[in-house]
Amino acid sequence: MSNQIEEFFRRDGAIGLILTIGLDDARFKEIESQVAVSHDTVSNRIDEARNMGLIKTEPASGVGTEFTNILTETGTICYKGMKELDLEEAHTEYIDAKRKRNKLSREYTQKVGDEHIWLEWVLDIDVSRDTLMRRFKHRGEDAAYVVNSQFPEQVNEALKQQSLDPLKDIDDRDYWLWKLMKYPPEPDEKPDADKYIQDSDSHADPDTE
């Protein structure tokens, strides 16, 4: 039995299950909210704990067909051992940290997908338009579509304004976003070089403005 118990408590949600039930009882929703694992994982841990004789499930009094989970004598011994090691406090801190990490991860993922926030990060790193232009020019040195460092007018305007607005209607917008600020992912196909050849008399060299 000891090896079985050890294996059980190595699984996600197992310790949280016993701690949440404690010396009282707990329904499924209460357990699910305290262990920070999926619905299916909670269900599996409850079934496993019941089969091992750590908990028993009984009808919740006066609540129709709902059920509550209660520790057995063996489950209570496990719970007291957790309390003795201050595992309850550590588990609470872990769950809070996990929730914060998940929340911040979702926020970060959304920001990565926001072009304007990405541009803010680029500008924050590069500090100035001149730095941006030098980096952009360097990236384009081996590209056939860049002729005498002359870029599409909308790109020059985007650099001047430090804004994505001028790129709203540019051809191959995804490509220029990537060239301008390494916005992922890199397009699979590069645009036609001829489209970006501009008359030097029409547009000033951005390095000399």
Backbone conformation region of residue 149, classed left if phi is above 0, alpha if psi is from -120 to 50, else beta: left
Q: Provide the total of helices (H) and of strands (E) in the chain, helices listed first.
A: 10, 2
Nearest Cα to Cα of residue 74 among 91, 98, 50: 50
Q: Name the residue type at position 70.
A: I
Alpha carbon distance 76, 74 (integer Å): 5
Give the pLDDT score at 205: 46
Give the pLDDT score at 60: 79
* Ramachandran angles phi, psi of 42, nearest 5°: -60, -45
Residue-level pLDDT, tens digit, the chain, 209 residues: 458 899 999 999 999 999 999 998 899 999 998 888 899 999 999 999 999 999 999 887 765 668 899 999 999 999 999 999 999 999 999 999 988 999 999 999 999 989 889 888 877 776 666 666 666 666 554 444 443 456 788 887 887 787 889 888 888 888 888 877 778 777 766 665 555 444 434 444 444 44
Give the pLDDT score at 190: 67
Alpha carbon distance 60, 66 (integer Å): 6
Q: So where are the chain's domains?
A: 2-111, 115-208
Give the pLDDT score at 87: 94
Give the pLDDT score at 152: 81
Centroid of chain to Cα 103: 8
The DSSP code sequence of 155-185 is HHHHHHHTSSGGGTT-TTHHHHHHHHH-PSS
Please say whether the beta carbons of 39 and 118 come within 8 A: no
Give the pLDDT score at 204: 42
Give the pLDDT score at 209: 42
Q: What is the CATH code for 2-111?
A: 1.10.10.10
